[in-house]
């Protein structure tokens, strides 16, 4: 608090200093009401430094870091090409004259960005994921993006592997919605935690030995015996490659989807995600390498279709802006807890991954009007 008051005093002091050089009315010099009266503003630039330093200490948390970044943006060396005249022109063309408090949508000198990074409304977005993959599930959309094949997917480097609590997709094999219903109804059962669970493989045939709890050493958060997880193997043409002139993919995995969406500076990469569903069961099969693709346990009952990215930041009103090819295995695969923990161990020790050692929440199954028609969900080839 003391620092805040000190900062305010400094700001007031600054006002006086600036007042000596510039008119008190911000509009006078920008709007030609009195041309020639104030010819210079030599004092402005150095004291912008002072203002920014003061702001940096007066602002809370996140805003503070922005204020500290500002000098790089505002100081002369970083605004090469932007003159005072440009600022004046900007002020006038944005119809600021007479409306000094008007909020602006852009900064002076900022180039117009051709990309709109706002997530689209589902009513205008491309076909979405997860689609219901059970036998008679319907969809309304005809995809515009081409669905890549298995061979094409394998030519794209693996850039990320992560897993969701429960399956985001739904098939006959994984269709138990007990946990997701409870979560959506706001009833946090002992077994439902902070991330939204998806569809589960059945547990009715499992005995108490098979369901006994296991202490995971590497996987974090809600990774539990008896639960199912949809692992996503993300392949992208934006993936880094040790040697672009040979046909060996480097598979340099990292947390998150940044490498898939914008690796190597690409803005329109081709992305394929392979989804495979594992239920963690004591005494089930040992799978030595679950990390480097879905080839280990086989995926003979798989389909492919055109969709989007998933996750709980999208639903049936806010949709994903990415077009993604999906290859999804419709079977439930049982795997030992040791093998699943080894997946996390490999992610962490081989690639330094951390945030993806936690399960992600599952997006609510997308409404039929935002997914592809059933004739566009075809056997993987």
Ligand X SMILES: *[C@@H]1O[C@H](CO)[C@@H](O)[C@H](O)[C@H]1NC(C)=O
Binding-site ranges for ligand X (CB under 6 A): 17, 43, 46-47, 49-50, 207-210, 243, 245-246, 283
| Closest residue by Cα to residue 162 from 353, 298, 363, 328 | 353
**Side by side, which strands form the sheet with 158-165?**
158-165, 228-236, 271-280, 324-335, 302-307, 378-379
Shortest separation between residue 373's beta carbon and ligand X, angstroms: 41
With beta carbons less than 8 A apart as the criterion, state whether 119 and 321 touch: yes
- Which CB sits closer to ligand X, 17 or 146? 17
Residue closer to ligand X (CB basis): 281 or 303: 281
- Distance in Å, CB of 46 to ligand X, minimum: 4
In the complex with ligand X, the residue whose CB is nearer, 47 or 155, is 47
Whichever of 204 and 207 has its CB closer to ligand X, that residue is: 207
C-alpha span between 346 and 328 (Å, rounded): 23
- Checking 283-287 for CB contacts under 8 A at 24+ apart, the result is 283/209, 283/210, 283/336, 284/210, 284/334, 284/335, 284/336, 285/333, 285/334, 285/335, 285/336, 285/339, 286/336, 286/338, 286/339, 287/335, 287/336, 287/339
Q: Which is nearer to ligand X, 55 or 272 (CB)?
A: 55
Q: How far is the CB of 20 from ligand X (least distance, A)?
A: 8
- The dihedral built from the CA positions of residue 278, 282, 288 and 291, taken in this order, carries a sign that is positive
Beta carbon nearer to ligand X, 136 or 207:
207
Closest contact distance (angstroms) between CB of 285 and ligand X is 12
Min dist CB 49 to ligand X, Å, is: 5
CB of 45 to ligand X, least distance (A): 9
How are beta strands 324-335 and 271-280 bridged, if at all? parallel
Comparing CB distances to ligand X, the nearer of 287 and 371 is: 287
Residue 307's DSSP bridge partners are 324
| Bridge partner residues of 62 (DSSP) | none
Nearest approach, Cβ of 22 to ligand X (angstroms)? 11
**Residue 326 DSSP class:** E
């Amino acid at each position: 608090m003391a620092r805040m008051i000190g900062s305010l005093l400094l700001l007031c002091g600054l006002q006086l200093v600036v007042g000596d050089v510039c008119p008190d009315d911000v509009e006078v010099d920008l709007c030609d009401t009195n041309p020639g009266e104030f010819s210079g503003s030599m004092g402005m630039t150095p004291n912008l430094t002072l203002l920014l330093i003061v702001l940096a200490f007066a602002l809370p948390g996140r805003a503070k870091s922005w204020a500290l970044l500002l000098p790089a943006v505002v100081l002369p060396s970083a605004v090469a090409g932007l003159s005072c005249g440009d600022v004046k022109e900007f002020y006038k063309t944005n119809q600021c004259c007479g409306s000094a408090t008007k909020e602006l949508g852009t900064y002076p000198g900022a180039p117009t960005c051709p990309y709109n990074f706002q997530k689209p409304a589902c009513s205008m977005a491309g076909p979405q994921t997860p689609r219901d993959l059970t036998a008679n599930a319907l969809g309304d959309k005809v995809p515009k993006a081409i669905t890549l094949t298995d061979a094409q997917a394998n030519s794209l480097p693996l850039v990320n592997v992560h897993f969701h609590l429960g399956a985001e997709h739904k098939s006959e094999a994984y269709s138990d919605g007990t946990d997701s219903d409870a979560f959506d109804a706001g009833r946090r059962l002992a077994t439902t935690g902070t991330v939204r669970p998806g569809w589960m493989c059945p547990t009715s045939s499992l005995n108490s030995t098979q369901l006994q709890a296991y202490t995971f050493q590497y996987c974090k958060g809600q990774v539990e015996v008896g639960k199912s997880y949809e692992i996503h193997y993300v392949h992208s043409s934006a993936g880094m490659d040790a040697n672009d002139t040979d046909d060996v993919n480097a598979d340099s995995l990292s947390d998150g989807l940044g490498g898939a969406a914008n690796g190597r500076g690409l803005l329109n990469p081709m992305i394929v995600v392979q989804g495979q569903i594992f239920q963690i069961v004591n005494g089930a099969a040992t799978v030595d390498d679950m990390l480097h693709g879905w080839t280990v346990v086989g995926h003979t009952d798989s389909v492919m279709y055109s969709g989007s990215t998933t996750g709980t930041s999208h639903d049936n009103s806010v949709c994903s802006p990415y077009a993604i090819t999906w290859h999804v295995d419709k079977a439930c695969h049982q795997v030992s807890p040791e093998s699943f923990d080894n997946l996390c161990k490999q992610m962490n020790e081989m690639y330094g991954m951390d945030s993806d050692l936690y399960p992600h929440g599952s997006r609510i199954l997308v409404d039929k009007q935002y997914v592809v028609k059933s004739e566009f969900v075809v056997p993987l080839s």
